[in-house]
Structure 1
Amino acid sequence: MSQSQPQPQSKSKSERWQWENGTAGAAAGFATVAAMHPLDVVRTRFQVNDGRVSTLPSYKNTAHAIFTIARLEGLRGLYAGFNPAVIGSTVSWGLYFFFYDRAKQRHSKNKEGKLSPGLHLASAAEAGALVCLCTNPIWLVKTRLQLQTPLHQTQPYSGLYDALRTIMREEGWSALYRGIIPGLFLVSHGAIQFTAYEELRKGIIDFKSKDRKKDSESDDKLLNSVDYAILGASSKIAAVLLTYPFQVVRARLQQRPSSDGIPRYMDSWHVVKETARFEGVRGFYKGITPNLLKNVPAASITFIVYENVLKLLKMARRKD
């Protein structure tokens, strides 16, 4: 009997420290948003500008957009939607890394050695779908706050809480999930990014370790912040190029309806048809320049913070 008692205690301790992945992800998400939010505002405004009737100013390029927003709207315009962006990114990254780690553990339960690329992909896709369902209302509010300008014709939202309350009153609960379909397709973005990250990470570790026998602890020591920056940036570029059109579709769906309550686009297929008809393939890549300028360094920041916070938490666990 005495020999069987330590097992539940060990399991409880292990489950407790599974939250280290969520904590590291949340810290990474907050750092990313704080550094890169103005480019996110610019990207969103480019995405929804379809060249037809719009309350948004016309921007020539990313630099012109930043200058124009700063001149006409000030710092507040450059950081429009910052609060939901911070909440959404922090919660999303925290949940993503937590769900991703749990999925990897489950898939590797009956496996010996490292997971295959296919299982990394499945783990990332599962985590992304769960996060999307949890956070879509926050991203919808962020998009709408970013699109508010001095030219906006309807009563502006005063903040996150007012936006949520107004949307539910005027459009109903279902409006909080506008853009959920392209959002679920965007799960492929995270899946591609994390699969690329894991495979590149293994390649760098193998290159650095050569034939030396290594375990999980030595893997941590082999990689530094420069490696994490390169891994994060490279994996993000691959994911952005392959999945960006879904971001454009989602942003256009999440716009606030006009004063008569009629949405600009009815559903995802309507967005695809109208964009292809009036703008061609180029329309699906509007805003990709500020998106890359934001997300490539942001991915580097995210993984530098994540990996280093994770190292600290693991060190604390060993001392516990």
Structure 2
Amino acid sequence: MSDSTVHAIAGAGGGIISMALTYPLITISSRLQVQKDKSSNEAYQSGLDAVKKIIAKEGISGLYSGLDSALFGISLTNYCYYYFYEFTKGIINKAHMSTIESMSAGAVAGAATVLITNPIWVINTRISTRNINARSMGTLETAAQMIKEGGFRSFWQGVMPALVLVANPIIQYTVFEKFKARIAKSRSLSSFDFFLLGAISKLAATGITYPYIVVKSRMQLKQSDDAKERYTSIMDGFRKIIKYEGFSGLYKGISSKIVQSILTASFLFMAQASLVVYVARLLVNLGLRAKNTQKRI
């Protein structure tokens, strides 16, 4: 198997580990992002308030609502991203890519990943943000309901802001690669270096792209018949959020999202860097990869 496949499998494993460790923060940030009215008694006033209310009304399991679809989604997302990213790097065929080349590799990988995995994240958003009074439904039942109500096209709701958000991993991986290359010139990178670089790169990416994340999350929900609540495009989403909620509406849930994103990226980069060696060794032992394969890992 190619280096791209090795990185992809390791990325999928790293994604599962990081997602499992940080999922409650994802639930909290998702619910805060889609919440449009904070005046009701059931509304979440902050991340901590969300935790208290979710546990009080849904139990601890409420913090893990939609975890099964999220784990499947992150494994497929990371597999696709790492595969296409490493594949594109292989075509460029340079040990150290320029900033433009790194961003180009990230753009190709990000766009391919979004188009393949968007249905999974639409389902996950619907499950994790479902009204607490609504009947609990699993992944397959939620998918069936979406098809019944909106047809197969409902699986690609929010795909345009998701494609715009390809800028997030482009920024993330470009920052990561640049700092990694700089450190590698003087010494070998440790697991803590990968953890720290993951945090720094994700902080930069999330801080810049967060308003698009809010719009994407809302567009992935079932769209209301109320024109005020329905977003017909990215710019329409921005316009209505600013009009009815102010600029602060574009940053709802950002504190918990940044914490979650940083931790997820840190655990991901640390786990992926460790797993890639073991995956390559396992594939060799299984006879699926040649022992003398030239590696870039």
Q: Could you state the TM-score of these two structures normalised by the residue count of structure 1?
A: 0.84
User: Share of identical aligned residues, percent?
Assistant: 30
1:195 aligns with 2:206: no
2:198, 2:269 within 8 Å by CA — same for their partners in 1? yes
Correspondence for 2:33 among 24, 29, 47: 47
Correspondence for 1:137 among 112, 119, 122: 119
- Give SS of 1:256's match: coil
- 1:213-258 CA deviation, whole Å, 9 max, x = no partner? xxxxxxxxx1111111011000000000111111100111112245
Correspondence for 2:252 among 286, 289, 293: 286
- Number of aligned pairs? 286
- Matched residue, 1:95: 80
Task: Give distance in 2, aligned partners of 1:16 and 1:235.
Answer: 27
**Once the 2 structures are TM-superposed, how far is the Cα of residue 52 of structure 1 from its aligned partner?**
6.9
Task: Give distance in 2, aligned partners of 1:26 and 1:247.
Answer: 22
- Matched residue, 1:214: none
Task: Give distance in 2, aligned partners of 1:263 and 1:163.
Answer: 22
Task: Give distance in 1, aligned partners of 2:263 and 2:189.
Answer: 18
- Matched residue, 1:18: 4
**Once the 2 structures are TM-superposed, how far is the Cα of residue 315 of structure 1 from its aligned partner?**
4.6
Could you tell me which amino acid in structure 1 is paired with residue 194 of structure 2? Y
Gap runs ≥5 in structure 2: 285-289, 293-297
**Once the 2 structures are TM-superposed, how far is the Cα of residue 266 of structure 1 from its aligned partner?**
3.0
Distance 1:149 1:310, change over 3 A: same
Distance 1:140 1:53, change over 3 A: farther
Task: Give distance in 1, aligned partners of 2:171 and 2:122.
Answer: 23
Please list every run of at least 4 consecutive aligned residues from structure 1 whose deviation after the TM superposition is greater than 3 angstroms. Answer: 15-18, 257-260, 313-320
Correspondence for 1:184 among 163, 167, 179: 163
Task: Give distance in 2, aligned partners of 1:18 and 1:277.
Answer: 45
Query: Where does 1:1-320 land on structure 2 (aligned, <5 Å)?
Result: 15-51=1-37, 57-108=42-93, 111=94, 113-152=95-134, 156=135, 158-208=137-187, 222-258=188-224, 264-315=230-281, 317=284, 319=291
Task: Give distance in 1, aligned partners of 2:73 and 2:154.
Answer: 17
1:255, 1:264 within 8 Å by CA — same for their partners in 2? no
1:141, 1:160 within 8 Å by CA — same for their partners in 2? yes
Task: Give distance in 2, aligned partners of 1:30 and 1:228.
Answer: 17
Considering only CA atoms, is the larger Rg found in Structure 1 or Structure 2? 1
Task: Give distance in 2, aligned partners of 1:150 and 1:237.
Answer: 31
- 1:122-147 CA deviation, whole Å, 9 max, x = no partner? 00111000000001111001111111
Gap runs ≥5 in structure 1: 1-14, 209-221
Distance 1:157 1:167, change over 3 A: farther
- Matched residue, 1:216: none
Task: Give distance in 1, aligned partners of 2:103 and 2:175.
Answer: 9
Question: Once structures 1 and 2 are overlaid, which stretch shifts more, 179-188 or 303-312?
Answer: 303-312
Q: Could you state the TM-score of these two structures normalised by the residue count of structure 2?
A: 0.90
Task: Give distance in 2, aligned partners of 1:16 and 1:194.
Answer: 21
